[in-house]
Each structure stands twice: as structure tokens, then as C-alpha cells.
A and B are shown apart, each in its own frame.
Chain A
Amino acid sequence: MSNVLELKNIRKSFGEEVVLNNLSLVVPEHTATVLIGASGSGKSTLLRCVNLLETIDDGQIFLDDKEISDPLINVDEVRRKLGMVFQSFNLFPHKTVLENITLAPIKVQGKTQEEARVAALALLNRFDLADKADQYPDRLSGGQQQRVAIIRSLAVNPRLLLLDEITSALDPVLVNEVLSIVRDLKSDGMTMVLATHEMGFATQVADEVCFLESGNILERGSAVAVLQNPTNPKTQEFLKRVHQAGRL
């Protein structure tokens, strides 16, 4: 099994504040890596660095064994292989659901309108959103918007999917409809890295769980190992707080 993503000794700081500190991570093909940790622990920054939305200060990032942290690389080409879903959905409000999904296939991959439309409708059908194809995002519930955002990122057939706390902005009732898509993708064999606060969900999909604290991975291993028998006192402390908040 080859590695889709490899991070070697990543460092990233914003001014004085070090957000990622000598962090390394390997994501093999068809696996899901779940990042957990308190807000500000560096989860989102890690995902944004992989997507080259942020420039790292040191270390190396490899996508399919090709270094993408090289400044000479074509960032648009790299991003075509990556799908990213954001906490705040970030759908394009002036475009319909269908137009949101077909924009990148048409403009980036050079598909025809019709090809892109057929592919988009197939995805919408699969996730029970076909009747929303011609709606504008503001007519959709948060859960539906986030599902559309996931479909939009899938429409370009990404090699790796980056999911940044995709349920954090949702009503608890809507969380499950979004997570069930991710479960489906996982069983399809999609390679993913996801930051989440949903520990139950992490247990279901994670091949590896990483606990981040102050920009480093303090503990990593299977979901059972990290979430149920954590050895690091900081992981224990974090999970105890999550538990107290009723989220485990």
C-alpha cells in the first residue's frame, strides 16, 4: 500500500506563535486519519498547509511521493488532486447547487457542460440531493449545504480528501446526514484526513487517530488505543473534558 500523503517535520508559525512544531504524519492509500485536539491545537492549519493555502516554515510535504512543498510547484495542479471541505461550507452563493458542483470540472478539468452535469447529478442522486440541483445554497439547510460542499469536492475525483471540522457549524440533528456521507466515502476506499470533535464518529472511520496539542502529535494509534486507552496524560485530560461535555 503506497502512501498518499507524507508530512516530514512540518513547522508553521504565525508571527511569534508556533502553530505546527516539527510534526510528521503518514497517510497510506485508502485510509482515514482523524485529527483530534482542542481548538487552536493546529488541526485546521495542518489541513490548510497540505492544501497549500498556507506556506510552511520548515519541513517537507509529499503527495504521492512528489514534494509539493517545493516553491516551484504549480499549486493549482496540486490542488486539483486534493478535495477540501470547510467548517463553514463556503458554497458559492451566486451559483446553484449544480453550478457549484460543475464549476471546477468544467473550468479546471475541461469537461463539457453535459459531462459535468451528468456526473454531478449522479453524485447528487447518490446522496439524495437530486431535487436540490437547481436551488441556490441559501434555500438549503446547513446539513444539505455541507453535503453539497462534500459533493463539490468529490466532483474533481480527488486523490485525497481534507475535511476540516465539517460538522462543527451544524445543528446536532443535522450532523449525522453529513457524517454518513463520509462513512460511505470511507467504505469506497477514499483516502482522507479529517479534523473533528465527533469522537464517536472518529471511532467508526479512523484507521489512525492523532491527538494534537500545541502543534505536535502527542499520541497516535488506532481509535481504540487513543480514544479508549490513552497513555499520554494530556490526551487523557482532553478526552475527559470531551466526555464531560457529553461528546463521547
Chain B
Amino acid sequence: MTERNNSAWLPSSREIERRSSRRAINRKQVIIAAVSSFLVLGTLALVLVTSPGWQTVKTTFFDIEYGKEVFPTVIRGLWINLQLTFIGGAAIGVIALSLALLRTTKSPTLTPFRYLATAYVDIFRGAPLILIILLVGFGVPALGLKGISSNVIFLGTVAVVLTYSAYVAEVIRSGILSIHPSQRAAARSLGLSSGQTMRYVVLPQAIRRVVPPLLNDFVSLLKDTGLVSILGVTDAVRAAQINASRTFNYTPYVVAAILFLLITIPMTRYTDRAIRHRTNAQSSEGAI
């Protein structure tokens, strides 16, 4: 409809004037931004390069040849981090969802589990991850239980899963609590049981709402898998450490950092987009 009207429309002379002044303003802003960026970044680079220790730093942290040499070892380590992230992530999803449901249930049969879930979340959300990794990694094998693997990769994953399940459970729970009670009332008045209401009405909406914070946690999870290196798991961090301590050249650390960033930065960008999308969608959800 508007397109048909559009074909007959030619901008007025006033509009043409306005467009050219807008262009002039734009040009000016681009120039200012370029000059400002050049000055700020140039100064930073200059300070770095002219600092007295620059030559030493350059050879011990940014040795390109050495970086190429250790790259295969570090990337093999990173593969461990990625495996840990995805396998751990799946386990975290299942455990966190169960914890969140237990914490929001009113069922009398599940009352003891509700208290346990609350205690669990309090403990694992409140204690530093690195301590949990140490406790699980060295404590569990010390128990000497039969049938429990003392493989460090396994124990490290368990520690990360224990902690992240508590974080993620709280995110999911906040999503569940954010669904307006009128949705529950509508579902219950159709005769759906409280379990059905949770499954078909509340949870699908809650999960959608918390996708952005969950993606954030996923990025953190990937980074935090680097902590299992303290148990001796040869992940990217550990691989870099071994090489660095052998040669006293820290380039492997920089290589590991760059590899992590190559994965996490796109993920963070994607999360930002998901959040923006979410915010836009919510504004049109107002009437419901």
C-alpha cells in the first residue's frame, strides 16, 4: 500500500537540504572518531614499545616462532577444555533443572529433597570453584571408594559440574519465578495439574527467558574448565604451563589466551544479540 504511494514521491527541496547537512555532520563525526582513536591507541602503543623492558617482554611473551612451535600442544589441550565444557554442560543442564524444580516444588513428598536442594545450592554457589576442584580432585581418591574413578579429568569435570549446577539452577529458578502467576492460574483453571502446568506452561516460557544468562554461564564454564589444570589435567592452560616452565618463555600462555578468546568472544557477541532480541520481544509481550 505504502509502496504504491512511494513511487510517486520525490523528496522536497527542504528534505534534500536536510540530507546534505546530515551528511556533513556525519563526515565531521567520522573524522573526529578517527583522530581520537589514532591519538589514544597510538599513545598506548608508544608507551608499550618505548618502555624499558619492551624488548624482554617481546621475546618472552610474543615470540612468534616459539608460539608456532607450541601451538599444536596447546590446541590439543584446548580440545580437552572443549570436551569438558560440552560433556559437563549437558550434565549441568540436567542437574540444574532438577535442582530448580525441586526448589520451586510444593509437593509434600519432595519436602526433604527441597531442603537438600537448597543446602546444595547454598554450598556450591558460595564456595570458590578452585577449592571444590581441589577437594574433589584430592579428597575423593583419598576415600578409597571402589568403583569411583580416580582419573583427574573425570574428577575435575565432576567438581566443575557440581559448582555450575548450583549457578545454573539459580538462573533457571529465577526464570520460573518470573512467570506471572496469571499464567499458572489460567493453566490450572483449564484442569491441568500442577506438574502439567509446570511442564507445558511455566517451564517453556521460563527457559526461553533465561537463555541469555545461560549462554553467559556457558562462556564462563568454558573459561573455568582451565582451572582443572591444577589437578594435572593437560588442558590448554596446563599445556602452556608445561612449555613455559621448560623454556622460561611465556609465549604459550599468550597462545592459550588467544585460543580461549577466539571461542569466547564470538559466544559473548552472540549472547549480546540474544539479549537484545529478548528485550525487543518482551516489549511486544506487554499485553499478555
Residues of A within 8 A of B (CB): 51, 53, 75-77, 79-80, 82-84, 86, 88-94, 103-104, 107-109, 137-138, 142, 145, 149, 152-153, 156
A residues in contact with B208, CB < 8 Å: 94
The answer to whether B288 touches A153, judged by C-beta atoms less than 8 angstroms apart, is: no
Which residues of B, 93-136, contact A by the 8 Å Cβ criterion?
Answer: none
Query: Would A104 and B190 be within 8 Å (CB), given that A90-B183, A93-B205 are in contact?
Result: yes
Number of residues from B at the complex interface, CB < 8 A: 21
A86–B183 alpha-carbon span in the complex (Å): 10
Whether a CB of chain A sits under 8 angstroms from the CB of B21 is no
A53-B189, A145-B288 known, 20 other contacts, Cβ within 8 Å? A53-B185, A76-B188, A79-B188, A79-B189, A79-B190, A79-B191, A80-B191, A84-B186, A86-B186, A88-B288, A89-B288, A90-B186, A90-B288, A93-B205, A94-B205, A94-B208, A107-B192, A108-B191, A108-B192, A109-B191
Q: Which residue of B lies closest to A82 (CB)?
A: B189
Residues of B within 8 A of A (CB): 182-183, 185-193, 196, 200-201, 204-205, 208, 284-285, 287-288
A92–B188 alpha-carbon span in the complex (Å): 12
The answer to whether B285 touches A138, judged by C-beta atoms less than 8 angstroms apart, is: yes
A137–B200 alpha-carbon span in the complex (Å): 16
A101–B177 alpha-carbon span in the complex (Å): 25
Query: Would A152 and B182 be within 8 Å (CB), given that A94-B205, A145-B287 are in contact?
Result: no
A103–B192 alpha-carbon span in the complex (Å): 9
The answer to whether B284 touches A138, judged by C-beta atoms less than 8 angstroms apart, is: yes
A residues in contact with B285, CB < 8 Å: 93, 138
The answer to whether A51 touches B204, judged by C-beta atoms less than 8 angstroms apart, is: no
Q: Which of A51, A83, A104 contacts B192 (CB 8 A)?
A: A104
Q: Shortest CB–CB separation between residue B204 and chain A, in angstroms?
A: 5
Q: Which of B182, B187, B188 contacts A88 (CB 8 A)?
A: B182
The answer to whether A76 touches B205, judged by C-beta atoms less than 8 angstroms apart, is: no
Query: Would A86 and B185 be within 8 Å (CB), given that A91-B288, A94-B208 are in contact?
Result: yes
A109–B196 alpha-carbon span in the complex (Å): 13
Q: Which residue of B lies closest to A87 (CB)?
A: B182
The answer to whether A156 touches B190, judged by C-beta atoms less than 8 angstroms apart, is: yes
Which of A53, A76, A90, A145 has the most chain B CB within a 10 Å cutoff?
A90
The answer to whether B201 touches A92, judged by C-beta atoms less than 8 angstroms apart, is: yes
Query: Would A76 and B288 be within 8 Å (CB), given that A86-B186, A88-B182 are in contact?
Result: no
18 pairs from A and B in contact (CB 8 Å cutoff): A53-B188, A75-B188, A76-B192, A79-B189, A82-B189, A84-B189, A88-B182, A90-B183, A92-B201, A94-B204, A94-B205, A103-B192, A103-B200, A104-B190, A104-B192, A109-B191, A137-B288, A145-B287
